[in-house]
Amino acid sequence: MGKPISIAIDGPAGAGKSTIARRLAKELGFYYVDTGAIYRTVAYFFDLWGISPKDIDGITRYIDELTIRIEYDDEGVQHMIMNGMDVTDDIRTQEISQKASLVSAHAIVRDLLLDMQREMAETHNVIMDGRDIGTVVLPKATVKIFLTASPEVRAKRRTDELLAKGQKADYNKILKEIQQRDYQDTHRAVAPLKMARDSVKLDTSELDIDGVIAAMKDIIAQKVTL
């Protein structure tokens, strides 16, 4: 077998990366690696310890206490194991989203997670999504796609998603949070969110999921025979 294929998907929060990547991975028989979940796990760990995601001294002091493992269940669903505990569901809150965005700005955190992400791509065909996959983690990825949509469309999708789950959702608050996260993720000094030069940009504002999947398959087919 030759070198594994890697598909890097980057883009801002709420662009639909995980929904799309998960479906494509299933169709192609690739591993789906959600790197945001890894940063969320780090944020959750420091949250449990009562350490602010901005407190670089506290983070430096306690980071060695953290072990993170990624496991896949029979359905191919990624589970995050923090110090032996499955925290897959616990990390999916708005509070942890914000904290993950802040904690991920520290070089010490990013360095810790780099090898883990690269190892996955060295041993498996992967679709990996995040903010710096095409620029830093897998600069030689077989295919790079930058998935985006306007902040308003992303906020609307998130609002509808929460309402569909029977949860409360305030569009204006969600829009503000998305804009704040965009700002943090694009303005940090280390590995900020930006489009790799050899990435293909796909704006999903006017597309439904099937439309995005079809467009992604076209982009992938130009680089790989599947």
Alpha-carbon gap, residue 172 to 182, rounded angstroms? 15
Shortest distance (Å) from residue 8 CB to ligand DC: 10
Query: Which lies closer to ligand DC via its Cβ, residue 14 or residue 125?
Result: 14
Alpha-carbon gap, residue 115 to 128, rounded angstroms? 14
- The gap from C-alpha 47 to its chain's centroid, in whole angstroms, comes to 19
- H-helix or E-strand containing 116? helix 107-123
Alpha-carbon gap, residue 46 to 169, rounded angstroms? 26
Query: Which lies closer to ligand DC via its Cβ, residue 47 or residue 132?
Result: 132
Q: Residue 39, CB half-sphere, CA atoms under 13 Å: how many?
A: 25
Cα dihedral 49→95→33→152 (10° resolution): -160
Alpha-carbon gap, residue 148 to 145, rounded angstroms? 10
Is the Cβ–Cβ distance between 131 and 193 less than 8 Å?
A: yes
Site of interaction with ligand DC (CB under 6 A)? 13, 35-36, 39-40, 97, 100-101, 104, 130-133, 181, 185
Shortest distance (Å) from residue 196 CB to ligand DC: 13
Three-class SS state of 225: coil
Shortest distance (Å) from residue 1 CB to ligand DC: 27
Query: Which lies closer to ligand DC via its Cβ, residue 47 or residue 185?
Result: 185
Shortest distance (Å) from residue 221 CB to ligand DC: 25
Alpha-carbon gap, residue 179 to 152, rounded angstroms? 9
Query: Which lies closer to ligand DC via its Cβ, residue 69 or residue 214?
Result: 69
Sorted by sequence, the CB contacts under 8 Å of residue 114 that are 6+ apart come out as 136, 137
